[in-house]
Structure 1
Amino acid sequence: MNFFTGLYLLLFFFGIFFITIFLILHWRHRKDLFYSPEAKTFPSVSFLVPAYNEEKSLKETVEALMEIDYPKNKKEILIINDGSTDGTLKIAKDLEKKYSIVKVINKKNSGKANSLNHAIRFAKGELIAVVDADSYPKKDSLKKMVGYFEDEKVAAVTSRVLVKNKKKWIERYQVLDYSIIAWTRKLLDFVDSVYVTNGPLSVYRKREVIKVGGFDPTNLTEDIEITWHLLSEGYKTRMAYNAIVYTTVPDNFSQWTKQRVRWNLGGMQTIRKYRKAMFHNPENAFGYFVVPYVSASFAFAIIGIFLVLRYLWIKGAYNLASFYYAAFGYDYLKYIDFTMSVTLLLLMAGLFFTLSIIYYKTGFKNSETGKKSVLKILIYSVTYRSLYTIPLVIALYKLARGDTRWYTK
């Protein structure tokens, strides 16, 4: 067995191993997917809504927050205008006049993390709920999240993000994408390994966020970094699968790519920052599962891209050699080693393919998308999922150049 055959087998083994873990977790906890502990008390909550050029969506977001079923005297809404250049500030001021619990914080542009850190100083709530200005929580979402905070070790609870805009092809693909992401994240909740508290709606214990130094302004994915920071300090992060928030997703390929480049860059920044936590504390799932799992996911994605490029290069070399052999009678192929354990590779590939279909069918069945046929899953996997390589390659290039600017707006 040569080196590259070993890499192929390692990739398949990694995929099979983790898909099997997720399927086992689902089977063991399938009755608890939609369970959330009932809140015995209702802590005060400050909604933090950072907004940069969000004039099209801010009003609808705030009105959705006003509709949330929660004691009115226990909630406030802080809109942080992050130096917007459109009509965001005016809309925010109008909302402040209209609703007594809405307050506007106006500041120079410095990014989402800095905006949140600035607003925390003014937040009166025991809990802070971070909500993107283009996201819309359901009325019952908050009540289904706060019950987790009865456990003093819980520092953050995240929600299930669903897609609001579903007309264009790339939006419809993201409906499937977000469904699988949310289902997988809930499965990780059962092993104390929720490694990201999403931006559209996540609730934090303010005291703990302050204790760890707030949100990291140098990281492009502050929601991932704060989660890893809390986990590394021994706190728990949870996921309420029945707490739903709708968000506006990118409606064109260019914006989608920019968003995913940012996600990849921020993920790699976070891995680099917390790499020393890997296998550090055997009593903490963070070091023994979260860091290795996410790191391995990135590593094998990069290896996969390399192997695909290598295959395309060899295929091109093969075609070129065949042309020369036909034209000049000279066999260049004798210099190329195509040795491969074909039977073993086919077996591993077949098992991986079968488990992947089961994985996706199970995930979709337990989400708002409902059951999907094998054909639809294949189309989703072959067309949309293959696009993931583009932002990953761009992110690697930018990381190598030290270019870590915000890539959404």
Structure 2
Amino acid sequence: MNVFASIILWTSYIISLYFTIFWLIVFLDAKPRFLKEEKEKRLLNKFPNVSVLIPGYNEEKTISKTIHSVLNLDYPKNKLQIIVINDGIKDKTKEVVEEIIRKNKERDIILINQKNKGKAAALNNALKITKGEFFSCLDADSTVDKKTLKKMIYLYQKEDDKDLVIVTPAMKVNKPKTLIQKLQWLEYLVAMFVARLMSQLDCIYVAPGPFSLYRAKTIKKLGGFSEDNLTEDMEIAYRVQTHDYKIRQCFDAYVHTVAPQTFHQLYKQRNRWFKGGILNVFLYRNMFMNKKFGDFGLVQMSINMFNFFLAISAISFFFYYAILPILNNIHEMWLVKFDFLPYLKTFFLNLNFNILSIDLTKTFILILLFSVFLVMFILSHKNANERVKKHGFLYMLPYFLFYYVGLSFIAVIVIGELIIGKKQKW
């Protein structure tokens, strides 16, 4: 391996190990607080008005469950407003919503019809008529647990801080069926745990679409959601951070979302997410290593930038160590007209194992990285109150070996698309 490749590899090793251990140290420091939180009796001293905004575009199959999950929230009915935004819908979503309104005349449900302008424009349109001190956005393919809203409001009341502007939920994949969905189920559990750790350092950089809860007055003062941003939920979080407001995660405020079923669907989703992620990092680059923004500027912005460097490194070394040897073997077999007998003889002669040929330093770091990540993986399940073997151990192998390589592949494509100036709509 040449010197340049070695530098890239060691840089990836060291930085990955540093940040992984960093989050474990944050966990050890926060563990007493976590245990205290989990034992708290979370009783509200008042029930503020809350508006739930549900933007929809061709969601006739899922929006009924979404709305009914809000109607069934354990929260005073007279304190809850539901605003559904028809964003130029072409299917029967409008009719489904109108039927729900007809059957629930005693509830405050409003349907707004607008031309297709995108999710951010739909939210801003609804924001103009919100009654609540707080408002939540809920994707039309997601459902919310009955106690979730109470838990999130309690966090606002517990901190009693006007600078706390966003409380994010704990998001799970709803009833995963396909391999891709089950891999995402594992990914979301890890992300949920990391978000809880990030919350301790005020490092949350995205307010997920499914049921993040906002302080209405502050978001309106900041100008609402950015309508020309691919990931408006990420951009609003960055903007909140730049104004020295706070974002917290409610560790057990569960929301269930429908995840992409196929790799093609996952590719389309992550292409937009990663593209939005890069553009927002560039947009808010002034926060990078800026002490004014505390741990967010020093730690989280560094991680957000490093992730894309890591993606390029992962794909490069996957190609170098996995794909290139296979291509070389195919080429060698082609030269001998695919006569496998000499190839097999050579293969078995090369099976001699010599421990001296192993790079012990790199092997040790790989084992250490995997061990630390495995600990994070187990803690993530415990944090989400899920069994590690809920969907069987079979799915863990592709998760650890191939899933993040696949995501890195998407990230590299996104970087290429940005370089050539390919445009993308929401």
Question: Counterparts of 1:4-403 in structure 2 under 5 Å?
Answer: 4-33=5-34, 35=38, 38-99=43-104, 100-149=107-156, 150-282=160-292, 284-311=294-321, 315=325, 342-372=359-389, 377-403=396-422
Deviation of the 1:266 alpha carbon:
1.0
CA contact (8 A) 2:241 2:293 kept: no
Render the CA deviation track for 1:108-138: whole Å, top value 9, x for unaligned. 0010011111110011111111001111111
- Cα distance in 2 for residues equivalent to 1:165 and 1:156: 27
SS at match of 1:195: coil
Instruction: State the partner residue of 1:336.
Output: none
Render the CA deviation track for 1:236-272: whole Å, top value 9, x for unaligned. 0000011111111111221111111111111111111
Render the CA deviation track for 1:159-182: whole Å, top value 9, x for unaligned. 011111322222222211111111
Instruction: State the partner residue of 1:331.
Output: none
CA contact (8 A) 1:51 1:79 kept: yes
Instruction: State the partner residue of 2:353.
Output: none
1:87 partner letter: K
In the alignment of these two chains, the number of paired residues is 395
Change in CA separation of 1:325 and 1:257 when aligned onto 2, cut-off 3 Å: closer
Deviation of the 1:290 alpha carbon:
2.0
CA contact (8 A) 1:9 1:348 kept: no
CA contact (8 A) 2:85 2:111 kept: yes
- Cα distance in 1 for residues equivalent to 2:231 and 2:415: 16
Render the CA deviation track for 1:260-297: whole Å, top value 9, x for unaligned. 11111111111110011112234532212221121111
Return 5+ residue gaps in structure 2 as ranges: 337-356
Render the CA deviation track for 1:364-408: whole Å, top value 9, x for unaligned. 23324323498764442113333212321332232223334246x
1:28 partner letter: D
Deviation of the 1:56 alpha carbon:
0.5
- Cα distance in 2 for residues equivalent to 1:323 and 1:133: 53
- Cα distance in 1 for residues equivalent to 2:383 and 2:196: 11
Change in CA separation of 1:368 and 1:166 when aligned onto 2, cut-off 3 Å: farther
- Identity value in percent: 30
Change in CA separation of 1:321 and 1:121 when aligned onto 2, cut-off 3 Å: closer
Q: TM-score, normalised by structure 2?
A: 0.85
- Cα distance in 1 for residues equivalent to 2:77 and 2:380: 36
- Cα distance in 2 for residues equivalent to 1:175 and 1:219: 27
- Cα distance in 1 for residues equivalent to 2:55 and 2:135: 13
CA contact (8 A) 1:220 1:265 kept: yes
Return 5+ residue gaps in structure 1 as ranges: 327-339
Change in CA separation of 1:212 and 1:299 when aligned onto 2, cut-off 3 Å: farther
SS at match of 1:156: strand
Taking only aligned residues, the RMSD between alpha carbons, in angstroms, comes to 2.7
